[in-house]
A and B are shown apart, each in its own frame.
Chain A
Amino acid sequence: QLQLQESGPGLVKPSETLSLTCTVSGGSISSSSYFWGWIRQPPGKGLEWIGNIHYRGSTEYNVSLKSRVTMSVDTSKNQFSLKLSSVTAADTAMYYCARRPFGAASAPGAFDIWGQGTMVTVSS
């Protein structure tokens, strides 16, 4: 079955760029019926949507993070990535990647498959 796995540095210095990759296995990222998204969760707090990307490259970003977020997709590696620039301690969180169907796919608009998450700490 489809699985997602986040990877990237667990520690990032303030003002630097956080870079994470999500590898999709057991299925293709190149499906027209899905967005691929990033969601984060600060320790002990709730969930915050960061953004989505489609395999054709179209993106949707959280307005509050838009100026610092870049997402990309590499269909040859079945991966998509997140870059968050100028990080501060407020960006310390568990970062999840997830699949979001749309249109006629089952569970449109919801995140139906999630990675296990990767903890990123922003500290000098």
Chain B
Amino acid sequence: EIVLTQSPATLSLSPGERATLSCRASQSVSTYLAWYQQKPGQAPRLLIYDASNRATGIPARFSGSGSGTDFTLTISSLEPEDFAVYYCQQRSSWPPEVTFGPGTKVDIK
């Protein structure tokens, strides 16, 4: 099983600041990595797929990068609505498997 590790567990920032979230895989996942945002009481929302592609309707302040085992989600300038938990997710074809990271909480400093 491919294990995803996210850091930091919590990121305390102010609106307008830049957020940099990390996701590391226990083995290469190529670019098969996605990022989600989840707010309390809501389902996760897809932000980024294939490591660096923004999903439909996602603002340009969200960007993803990386390949292999190390990935980054960057929020260039935090808006009040961006304070949430962020999860990374990988998929592998064989064996067919999907795993999520434990999440990074971005909260208001």
Contacts and interface: CB of A to CB of B under 8 A. Distances in A.
A9 interface: no
Interface stretch (B11-19, B48-56, B65-73): B48-56
**What's the interface size class on A, roughly?**
20 to 34
A110 B56 contact: no
Contact of B97 (A37, A63, A108): A63
Interface in A72-124: 96, 98, 106-112, 114-117
A109 B49 contact: yes
Contacts of B46: 107, 110-112
5 contacts: A47-B44, A47-B103, A107-B55, A111-B34, A115-B43
B70 to A, nearest CB: 18
Nearest to B54: A107
A16 interface: no
B82 to A, nearest CB: 19
Contact of B32 (A60, A98, A109, A114): A109
Contacts of B42: 116
B49 A107 contact: yes
A49 B32 contact: no
Contacts of B36: 47, 111
B102 A46 contact: yes
A101 B96 CA distance: 14
